[in-house]
Structure formats: structure tokens, C-alpha cells
Amino acid sequence: MPKSLLWVDDEADLLEPHRIFLRERGYDVELASNADDALDLVRSRPFDLVLLDEQMPGKRGLEVYRELRELAPNLPVVMVTKSEEDATFREAIGANVRDYLVKPINPRQVLTAVARLLEGPTIRQQAVARAFVERFRALELERDTDLDWRGWIDRYAELTRWDVDLANAGESGLYDSLRSLYPDMHREFAAFMRTAYPAWLKNLDGPRPPLSVDVVSEFLLPIIEEKRPAAFIVVDCLRLDQWLVLEPLLAPFFDVETTHYYAVLPTATPYSRNALFSGLFPGELAARFPDWWGEREDETLNAHERELLTAHLEGVRGATNVRYQKVSNALDSDDLERHLPGLLVGEGVSAFVFNFIDLLTHGRSESMILYEVARDEVALRQLTLQWFQRSALFTLLKEASRRKVKVVITSDHGSIHCNTPATVFAKRDATANLRYKFGEDLRAERPEHALSFANADDLKLPRRGWGGGANTLMAVGDTFFVYPTKLREYQGRYRGSFLHGGVTPEECILPLALLTPR
């Protein structure tokens, strides 16, 4: 069925060439020479778009536009005018007119504006689909290709971009085809990390990616050295795909340069975020600050992030002014926004940790409501976007842009949607985590479900009090650890959860962006 257009212009008799041109291209065009006739037509039948002359006898076009909005709030309107005055243009934009054409106009200009508004989403969807179909065969053939750490970033970043684009285009069939590549990606990445990660840590001066311990010295320190205010923001549990949907919102305020780094293992907050702030691997941190590290496996181990960042910066550049704030709930957000005038000032760095996404992924396992609204990766992205748009984080970033403060923003680890239970055998003293465990005689029933490391020193982890049988187990793919005696209980509670601590690109390869105010 052809799209229906209404063109309102007091010189409607001169528009016949435009009308013929649009009809030949599949549009049905109705003409009205005055506002009253146009409003009557909109009351009597539906239209897909209105072309509205701004300068007509009687009512101005913008007055008619406001009446049209009352009759049909979602009806797109293109303003057509002889006026090139900025005031008219600004008034039209302020009224949310969808497009603006200045006479004289030719039929091709009109067609372009109409097609962009009415056919644009379909055209973009078709373009994404064609591009993915052309690329998909190559992606299949690239499986089992040996990659270095840069190659893994490129592969994961490309699949993530397709993931976001196909979901946004509503291409469910092609999206399923894309997701069929993920199991092989997880398997190959685990095989890569089994040997690559210990090798990086054994020879830190050799070829390796930036790791959590490098973020402050490599990315934050250069902007602190400019001797102006700097901001360092860590969004706990932010995945690359979530960053991709947030990034466009920052474009009006910042020039955004995004790169990537690898989280230290295990990809869990006590290890990865402490490494981020301290510049130390977990084993080094436990040895240097024993009072701040114990045998616990919870976020109380992250109680000294300000002190760790202060000590880190003192070690690499001397005494540095460090301000720190953690935002974990609505009260923290309100407090941050109240104190914004006193933040982001003076030399040094203002550091912030935002815990919303991590709390969301943890709370999802406990709440059926959260489970429903964040059912899968696509829904989690949308929920993250909705939160960000009204968050204290976005307010903070806009304030940083206004004050010309450069920002380094990143994540400490990602998460993965877990659907496969992996039975593990361990003694009673094994830790209780779902994606990583430490313990004696610890093993997975199926070796392909986990990476096992017998020596904590190879991973620069704190040494435990166990004997020679102690080892580290980290989940790969979409698995979560269950005990044989609690198989049904764990499956019912944790299947479908977003978890972290294991070894997948989603958990390990993280976005890091430098935001330079426009």
C-alpha cells in the first residue's frame, strides 16, 4: 500500500510537477491550499507525513503544526518555507519539526526528505542485512584461525558490533545466525588464554596487551600530567556491547576515542578492580598490603580503592591529589549530584565507581521482575541505556564536558549470560563462586567447561593456605559451576544469570575511552 502524503501550501496549484514525481515513486499525495482544509483532511483519514508551508495567509505554518500535533502526535511534519532567517529555523527545530526545506525546492529534494523519514529505518535495516550476509560466510571461514591478542580484540569487537546492529535492525533470523558463532568463539578464546595469559604474566616486558594493571599508568597518567582536573570513571561490569549503545549519547559533548584492554583473571571485582586502581596483580597487592586482603571473596576487598589509587600514582609520579566517590544506590547518586559544583576542580584526579550494572546483574538472579526486564543480552543493553540516560553518571559526564575536563571511562570486567551447568568436584574448603573457584583437588567433570591452573604464581594470585593440591578453576563459555549434591538447586537458581569471573571475551576484553570535551 503506498505511503500517503499531505502537502499544505497556498500555492498548491503550482505543486503538480512535485505531485507527479512523488506518485511515480509510489507515494499518494493529497494537496490542501489552506490550514482549515488540511486539518479537516487529517481528521478524516490517516496520513504518513505532512509537508507544510510556513508562510500562508491566515495561520502561520507553525501554528498549524501545533494543531496537527494535537490531532496526530506522531505524524511527522516537514516544514517548507521561503524564509532563511535563523529565528524561523530555530523555532521549527524547537517545535520538533522533523525536517526543514527552504524554497525554491526541486522534486528530488522533497523525495529525499520524505524517503529519509518514511523509508529510512527499512532502508537501513536492509543495508545492515545485506552487509552481514556478505560478511557472514567469511566469519564462518575465519573460525579456528590462530589469533594474537590484537586479533582477538578485532574479532570480538566486530561480532559485538554486528550483535548490536542486527538487534537494532530487528533481524532476528540473522541475529540467530550470528549467535551461532559464539560457542566456537568461546572455545577458541579459552584455548588461547590457557597459554597466552600465563605467558603475558611471566614476561611482562614482552608482547602483550594492556592489562588492568596498566590502565592508570598508560591511559590516565598522561592527562593527569597536563596539570588540569582529570576524571577517572569505572562502570562496574560494563560489557563492550553496553558501551556501544551508550557511546552515541556522548558524541554531542566529547570527542570519543575508544580502545580496549584485557582484565586480569579471575574477572571478578575483588581481583580486576583492585588491579585497576593499584596497578598491582592480586598476588602483589596481597603481599604489599596484607591488611587490605584476606581469604574473603566479596567486595569488602574493594574497601581501599582510594588509598590504592593514591599509592599507585605516588609510585609513578609523586604525590597526587585524589578524590574518590562510589555510587551504589539512589542516595549516592543524589549526593553526587548535590556536590557536583565542588567536584572536577583543581589538579589531580577525581575517581568514581558506578555499581548499577553490577548490582543489576547480581540482583537479576534474585528477582523475577529483573529477570523478565533483562531476559537476555539485548534487553540488558536496553535497560543499561535507559538507566544511563537519567543517571548521575550522565549528569557527571555532561558537567565534565562543560568544564572542559578530560575523562577516562572504562569497566573492570564484563559478564556473560550463563545457561550451561558444569559439575565440579572439590573438598569442602573450596570457594563458593559460580565462575571461578580455588581449592584442593578441584576439577570439572568435563574439562572443556573450565580452565584449570595448578600454580597460583602463574596467575600472580595470592597464595592460599592449602598444600600441593591447591588449584584455580575458571569457567569458560556460558557455564556456571554446580556441585553434584546441589545440581537441581543451582540449575533452578542460576541458569540464565549474567555472571562473571570466568574466561570469555565478554568478561575479559573491555572498552576504555578517552573523552575530550568538545
Task: Give the range of the structural domain holding residue 430, as residue numbers without chain letter.
Answer: 420-495
Considering the domain architecture, whether residues 185 and 217 belong to the same structural domain is answered as: no
Considering the domain architecture, whether residues 219 and 338 belong to the same structural domain is answered as: yes
pLDDT for the residue numbered 177: 94
**DSSP one-letter string for 165-189:** HHHHHT-HHHHHHHHTTHHHHHHHH
**Residues with pLDDT less than 50, the chain:** 466-468
Domain membership flag for residue 200: no
Say if residues 81 and 88 touch (Cβ distance below 8 Å). Answer: yes
What is the Cα–Cα distance from 407 to 110, expressed in whole angstroms?
A: 42
Considering the domain architecture, whether residues 16 and 160 belong to the same structural domain is answered as: no
In terms of DSSP H, where are the helices of 251-291? 269-278, 282-288
Domain membership flag for residue 195: no
CATH of residue 59's domain is 3.40.50.2300
Say if residues 411 and 510 touch (Cβ distance below 8 Å). Answer: yes
SS3 labels along 430-481:
CCCCCCEEEEECCEECCHHHEEEECCHHHHCCCCCCCCCCEEEEEEECCEEE
Considering the domain architecture, whether residues 305 and 170 belong to the same structural domain is answered as: no
The SS3 of residue 286 is helix
Considering the domain architecture, whether residues 94 and 148 belong to the same structural domain is answered as: no
Considering the domain architecture, whether residues 245 and 295 belong to the same structural domain is answered as: yes
SS3 labels along 186-202:
HHHHHHHHHHHHHHHHH
Q: What is the DSSP letter of 157?
A: H
pTM listed for this prediction: 0.86
Say if residues 237 and 507 touch (Cβ distance below 8 Å). Answer: no
Q: How many structural domains comprise the chain?
A: 4
Domain membership flag for residue 427: yes
Considering the domain architecture, whether residues 57 and 168 belong to the same structural domain is answered as: no
Domain membership flag for residue 283: yes
The last residue of a domain, from among 55, 83, 118: 118
Considering the domain architecture, whether residues 227 and 352 belong to the same structural domain is answered as: yes
pLDDT for the residue numbered 465: 59
Considering the domain architecture, whether residues 351 and 247 belong to the same structural domain is answered as: yes
Say if residues 43 and 15 touch (Cβ distance below 8 Å). Answer: no
The last residue of a domain, from among 74, 99, 118: 118
What is the Cα–Cα distance from 260 to 512, expressed in whole angstroms?
A: 5
Considering the domain architecture, whether residues 98 and 217 belong to the same structural domain is answered as: no
With a CB cutoff of 8 Å and minimum separation 6, the contacts of 47 are 4, 5, 6, 30, 41, 72, 75
pLDDT for the residue numbered 298: 63
Considering the domain architecture, whether residues 80 and 154 belong to the same structural domain is answered as: no
What is the Cα–Cα distance from 511 to 357, expressed in whole angstroms?
A: 15
Nearest CA to 467 among 494, 497, 503, 442?
442
With a CB cutoff of 8 Å and minimum separation 6, the contacts of 24 are none
Q: What angle do CA 180, 182, 186 make, to 5 degrees?
A: 145
The SS3 of residue 249 is helix
Domain membership flag for residue 198: no
What is the Cα–Cα distance from 134 to 243, expressed in whole angstroms?
A: 26
Amino acid identity of residue 473, one-letter, is: L
What is the Cα–Cα distance from 317 to 223, expressed in whole angstroms?
A: 12
Domain membership flag for residue 202: no
Say if residues 314 and 302 touch (Cβ distance below 8 Å). Answer: no
C-alpha distances (whole Å) from 3 to each of 25, 47, 88, 106 are: 10, 8, 29, 20
Domain membership flag for residue 264: yes
pLDDT for the residue numbered 83: 65
Specify which residues 80 forms β-bridges with.
53, 101
The last residue of a domain, from among 118, 152, 174: 118
What is the Cα–Cα distance from 32 to 480, expressed in whole angstroms?
A: 65
Amino acid identity of residue 258, one-letter, is: T
Domain membership flag for residue 451: yes
Computed from CA positions of residues 216, 218, 224, 225, in that sequence, does the dihedral angle turn out positive or negative? positive
**DSSP one-letter string for 393-420:** HHHHHHHHHHTT-EEEEE-S---EEE-E
pLDDT for the residue numbered 364: 65
Considering the domain architecture, whether residues 483 and 351 belong to the same structural domain is answered as: no
Computed from CA positions of residues 239, 241, 242, 246, in that sequence, does the dihedral angle turn out positive or negative? positive
Burial class (CB in 10 A: 0-12, 13-18, 19+), 412: buried
